Chains A and B, each alone.
Chain A
Amino acid sequence: MKFLVMLLLVVSQCAKAHNPLIVDIISSENFSQRYQAFLQGRSVLDVTDFRPTTQGSHIEIIEMVLLQQALFLGGETREVVFNPKPSVNILEFTDMIAGESLILARTVWHEDVINYRGSVYVSDPVVKFGEYEAGIYVAKRNQALQQTTQDGLEQLTLVANPRWRVDWHALTNSKMNLVSFIGPWESMLNMVETDIVDGMLVNFSVSESLQLVFEGRDYVPIEGVKMVLPDSRHFIVSKRHPEGAQIFAALNRGLKELRRRGMIRKALTESGFINRKVRDWTVINRAMLPQESRP
């Protein structure tokens, strides 16, 4: 009898291995290469060191790792296969609502899915409300701007994309002036470079000096101040998908376990997403934080 059980388990494992878990991912993000570069041959489940191996923020890679670890911890041991999809579809959540897509490899802003809560499961937050911080990046050559004091912020003009609602909300809750621009991120950097605006909100760079290098041009954050992006980020799982409930249960269980182990915090911190260097910097839009989570 014992042998039979063992046999069944092995068979089921084998069956699972042949029936991989499909996780949708945005095709435009060159995930595969960066993902492999990050793993450096490590098994994804063994990753406990989240320190970056490449320049730039790589939260999306961390999320891919955390998702797999959570699923596994939650009991979902099948192999995860990432399925690239055009971003247009993904952000409409149409496939997710329809049950054609089970799960996304990336977390989403909570605000973006509140109307779809009837159709998607929303996981516990990976990035909690208030954890997502960004700096006000200005052109490095502009020495005076880098030293802007909190009082001087009122004089600044930043470019922001109103479609990035969370960024927009963060900035509208500051006294800085805004230029609303809907277009490529690179154009926004160019606007900073050409002094059309003074700066823009950018995730803190993982580099030692917090310096952001783009196309040979350097950008640095205004020292001493940071902004909180006022929302939490979550994984979502389709409710209508046959496996949705099961996967969500596993995912959330695993996330809870990871959270309990401090792995999520570790991952975010080590990866530089939560940047230790700016820990003591003043949060400009501190008032937006829920009272209980204000520092």
Chain B
Amino acid sequence: MTRPGTLIGWLLCIVFSVSTFATELVSPSALEKSLSELNETLKSDFDLSLLPELRALRRDAQAVDALEIVAQSLLLEGQIRQQYGDYQQSLVLHNDALQLAIKRKDLALMAQSRLAIARLEMDLERYNYAQRSLDDVHQLITQLRNNAQKSPYVTQRLLLEHRLWQGYLYVLLGSYHQAVAALKTDDLVVTGAPELLDTLLLVRAWALLKLGRYQQAQPILNQVAQSRTLIRNQRMRLRFKLLQSMAWLQSGDFQQTLDTAMPALMETFATRFLEEQADLQFVMSNAYVQQGDYQQAHVYLKRYALTKDALNFQKRNNKLLQLESQYALATQKQQLSLLEKDNALQAQEIFRHQQILENTRLAQQRGALLLILALALLGFLYWRWQNKRYLSLLEEEVKQRTAELDERNRQLQALSYSDSLTGLHNRHYFFSEADKLLAQAHNASQSTIFCLIDIDYFKQINDGHGHAVGDQVLKQFAQLVKLELREQDVLIRWGGEEFLLIMPNTETPQAQQLIERIRHVVAQALFGSAPQPLMCTCSIGFAPYPLRLGNGQSLDWEQVLELADNCLYQAKHGGRDAWVGLNPPAQPLAMTLAQLQQNMEAFTVSSTQLAG
């Protein structure tokens, strides 16, 4: 059931669209034809009833994008509006046409539009503007002449039209000689525009009559009288009759004047051609007055005055409206420009404010940045200060600790280098200081004496009296010996009850004396505590350092010490409370250490020897 329905629908659609297509596609040539028909009809009598047709034509032309026809229709409507006093809208339409022409770069159309504008300006009595437009037209025509593409016919026709309206303008301006000179047709061949040619001839006749040259005007009028234009175009007919009556008037044929003017005047009633009406009435009044018919002259003069008054009234109102609209436009523009200025000022103000804000923001940012920088600097400085302080504290602490450590080390060293019981240096001290001590000895011209002192029978004291007494004896012994020593001498507790005495810069005899004094002092002294004092002796062995052997060998301090020990042993062995020292000859001994040790006695001195 649906299929046939759909099919019918489709068919209808197609038929409808085809018919629509057919109506839409009016060919440009058809449009042009109807335009020229309308043009003819409208120009002969600006019949307002044709206006809808003209607008429909424009719509059609717009639909097919026939811009030239659109422009022409705009010009036509503009002319109609102009005829009916709507100058403002007329100007708009003419300008629209001009814009279209400019858009299309159509010189001929531009010239036509400009001509239409010039005519409008003439109606508005804005002769300067009209002249400017006509000058433009002339320029366009010159361009057209140089442009081979356009047919010469169009150019000739435009030239004729330009001459017509230029001449017309001269007449309006009262420059009649110029008008007569401009309104020439001799050099132009324009066929197919009889109306244009007749209009031009009539304007020429008019200019001549303005100069009072009716004799020259008459042949022109005779020429126009033959034209069919006068049958078609009512206004031209009226103008012709007016000019003819003027010519009669000037020639003094008053009756002919009246005979020509009267029917023309009758024809003007119920038309809008008030200008011709007024002029005819004026001519007739002049004819009557010159005929001596003052009554009629008065009647027509009065009618003339009334018509002129009405005409002026209409013109003035239209111009007034035009002026008002211009004024309104100007005021509007002024207000607009004021607003624009105001806006510009406000925009400027806003911009200024924005700038101030921006500047403030930037200043704030800068300030904040500076503050941050300052704070950072302050922080940094504080950090530096704190750091420094902390470092200095640390340094101080380190210094303190180092000092403490040094002190401890020193104490430790002191402790490690000294004997806690006697307060003397211990053998560690000697070992660490031996090189320093012996370097001096090595350099010195005198020798250093290594002297080993051992308390005799100390074991017995310890055993017999206890270690405390032993210790006391050791202490007292050390102090006793120290009292005998010189400033440069160093006493070291060598271990147990054995002491090492180093006597720098000491020759053996000198040493012998000192050692002897020590032995003696010790032997004389009382040790221990008061109730049970003890007597002690000591044995001493010594050897000088350096000691050179024959092979050029120099004995080291350990070997020298060993020799001293050998000497001590001899002293012990000799009965104790004695001393034995090696006293080698001045020249080096031609023997080895072992040989020396074996032949020690040959080179020793002892307390017993001295005593003996």
- The listed residue (A118, A168, A169, A288) touching B251 by CB distance below 8 A is A118
Contact B290 A114 (CB under 8 A): no
Contact B212 A117 (CB under 8 A): yes
Q: Which chain B residues lie closer than 8 Å to A291 at the CB level?
A: 177, 181
Contact B177 A288 (CB under 8 A): yes
Contact A168 B181 (CB under 8 A): no
Mark interface residues in A113-137 (1 if CB within 8 Å of B CB, else 0): 1111111001000000100000000
Contact A115 B127 (CB under 8 A): no
Contact A230 B174 (CB under 8 A): yes
Contact B289 A111 (CB under 8 A): no
- A287-B290 contact given A117-B212, A118-B252, A118-B254, CB 8 Å threshold: no
B296 at the A interface (CB under 8 A): no
A97 at the B interface (CB under 8 A): yes
B178 at the A interface (CB under 8 A): yes
- The listed residue (A173, A175, A289) touching B174 by CB distance below 8 A is A173
Contact A287 B253 (CB under 8 A): no
CB distance from A293 to the nearest CB of B (A): 9
Q: Which chain B residues lie closer than 8 Å to A119 at the CB level?
A: 252, 290
- A288-B209 contact given A115-B249, A119-B290, A172-B127, CB 8 Å threshold: no
Cβ < 8 Å to A, chain B residues 167-212: 173-178, 181, 209-212
CB distance from A228 to the nearest CB of B (A): 11
Most buried by B among A166, A175, A230: A230
Cβ < 8 Å to A, chain B residues 258-310: 283, 286, 289-290, 292
A58 at the B interface (CB under 8 A): no
CA distance A110 to B209 in the complex (A): 12
A94 at the B interface (CB under 8 A): yes
Q: Which chain B residues lie closer than 8 Å to A94 at the CB level?
A: 289
CB distance from A286 to the nearest CB of B (A): 10
CB distance from A289 to the nearest CB of B (A): 7
Most buried by A among B254, B286, B289: B289
Q: Which residue of A lies closest to B172 (CB)?
A: A172
Contact A118 B174 (CB under 8 A): no
Interface residues on chain A, number (Cβ under 8 Å): 29
Q: Which chain A residues lie closer than 8 Å to B249 at the CB level?
A: 115, 118
**Chain A interface residues (CB < 8 Å from chain B):** 94, 97-98, 110-111, 113-119, 122, 129, 165-166, 168-169, 172-173, 175, 230, 239, 285, 287-291
Contact B209 A114 (CB under 8 A): yes
**Chain B interface residues (CB < 8 Å from chain A):** 127-128, 173-178, 181, 209-212, 214, 246, 249-254, 283, 286, 289-290, 292
Give 29 A-B contacts (CB < 8 Å), ordered by A residue.
A97-B289, A98-B292, A110-B211, A110-B212, A111-B212, A114-B209, A114-B211, A114-B212, A114-B250, A115-B246, A115-B250, A115-B283, A115-B286, A116-B286, A116-B290, A117-B214, A117-B251, A118-B252, A118-B253, A118-B254, A129-B177, A165-B174, A168-B174, A173-B175, A175-B128, A230-B175, A287-B175, A288-B177, A291-B181
CB distance from B375 to the nearest CB of A (A): 71
Q: Which chain A residues lie closer than 8 Å to B181 at the CB level?
A: 290-291
CA distance A157 to B312 in the complex (A): 25
- A114-B210 contact given A119-B290, A175-B128, CB 8 Å threshold: yes
Q: Which residue of B lies closest to A289 (CB)?
A: B177
CB distance from A232 to the nearest CB of B (A): 10
Most buried by A among B127, B251, B252: B252
- A287-B178 contact given A116-B290, A117-B212, A172-B127, CB 8 Å threshold: yes
Q: Which residue of A lies closest to B128 (CB)?
A: A175
Q: Which chain A residues lie closer than 8 Å to B176 at the CB level?
A: 230
CB distance from B178 to the nearest CB of A (A): 6
Contact A288 B250 (CB under 8 A): no
Q: Which chain A residues lie closer than 8 Å to B127 at the CB level?
A: 172
- A288-B175 contact given A97-B290, A111-B210, A114-B209, CB 8 Å threshold: yes
CA distance A175 to B173 in the complex (A): 12
CA distance A239 to B250 in the complex (A): 13
CA distance A291 to B290 in the complex (A): 34
CA distance A56 to B249 in the complex (A): 38
Other 15 A-B pairs with CB < 8 A, given A114-B210, A168-B174? A97-B289, A110-B212, A115-B283, A117-B250, A118-B253, A118-B290, A119-B290, A169-B173, A172-B127, A173-B174, A230-B174, A230-B175, A285-B175, A290-B181, A291-B177
Q: Which residue of A lies closest to B180 (CB)?
A: A290
CB distance from A50 to the nearest CB of B (A): 29
Q: Which chain B residues lie closer than 8 Å to A116 at the CB level?
A: 286, 290
Contact B250 A118 (CB under 8 A): yes
Contact A290 B290 (CB under 8 A): no
CA distance A122 to B250 in the complex (A): 12
CA distance A63 to B286 in the complex (A): 28
Q: Which chain B residues lie closer than 8 Å to A111 at the CB level?
A: 210, 212
Q: Which chain A residues lie closer than 8 Å to B290 at the CB level?
A: 97, 116, 118-119
The 4 closest A-B pairs by CB, nearest first: A118-B252, A169-B174, A114-B212, A290-B177
Q: Which residue of A lies closest to B209 (CB)?
A: A114
- The listed residue (A117, A230, A289) touching B252 by CB distance below 8 A is A117
CA distance A230 to B250 in the complex (A): 20
CA distance A291 to B184 in the complex (A): 14
Q: Which residue of B lies closest to A115 (CB)?
A: B286
CA distance A168 to B174 in the complex (A): 9
Q: Which residue of B lies closest to A239 (CB)?
A: B252
CB distance from A178 to the nearest CB of B (A): 11
Contact A172 B173 (CB under 8 A): yes
CA distance A115 to B439 in the complex (A): 162
Q: Which residue of A lies closest to B287 (CB)?
A: A118
CA distance A239 to B252 in the complex (A): 10
Contact B173 A173 (CB under 8 A): yes
Q: Which chain B residues lie closer than 8 Å to A166 at the CB level?
A: 174
CB distance from A239 to the nearest CB of B (A): 8
Q: Which chain B residues lie closer than 8 Å to A114 at the CB level?
A: 209-212, 250
Q: Which chain A residues lie closer than 8 Å to B250 at the CB level?
A: 114-115, 117-118
Q: Which chain A residues lie closer than 8 Å to B175 at the CB level?
A: 169, 173, 230, 285, 287-288
CA distance A87 to B447 in the complex (A): 172
CA distance A111 to B250 in the complex (A): 11
Q: Which chain B residues lie closer than 8 Å to A110 at the CB level?
A: 211-212
Q: Which residue of B lies closest to A292 (CB)?
A: B177
Q: Which chain B residues lie closer than 8 Å to A115 at the CB level?
A: 246, 249-250, 283, 286
CB distance from A76 to the nearest CB of B (A): 23
Q: Which chain B residues lie closer than 8 Å to A129 at the CB level?
A: 177
CA distance A197 to B212 in the complex (A): 34
CA distance A126 to B212 in the complex (A): 17
CB distance from B295 to the nearest CB of A (A): 14
CA distance A111 to B253 in the complex (A): 19
CA distance A169 to B180 in the complex (A): 16
CB distance from B290 to the nearest CB of A (A): 5
Q: Which chain A residues lie closer than 8 Å to B212 at the CB level?
A: 110-111, 113-114, 117, 122
Q: Which chain A residues lie closer than 8 Å to B283 at the CB level?
A: 115
CA distance A115 to B289 in the complex (A): 11
Most buried by B among A118, A168, A172, A287: A118
Q: Which chain B residues lie closer than 8 Å to A175 at the CB level?
A: 128
Most buried by A among B209, B250, B254: B250
CB distance from B206 to the nearest CB of A (A): 12
CB distance from B214 to the nearest CB of A (A): 8
CB distance from B245 to the nearest CB of A (A): 11
CA distance A166 to B283 in the complex (A): 21
Q: Which chain A residues lie closer than 8 Å to B209 at the CB level?
A: 114
CA distance A113 to B290 in the complex (A): 12
CB distance from B561 to the nearest CB of A (A): 136
Q: Which chain A residues lie closer than 8 Å to B252 at the CB level?
A: 117-119, 239
Q: Which chain A residues lie closer than 8 Å to B246 at the CB level?
A: 115
CB distance from B256 to the nearest CB of A (A): 10
Q: Which chain B residues lie closer than 8 Å to A287 at the CB level?
A: 175, 178
Contact A288 B178 (CB under 8 A): yes
Q: Which residue of B lies closest to A165 (CB)?
A: B174
Q: Which chain A residues lie closer than 8 Å to B251 at the CB level?
A: 117-118
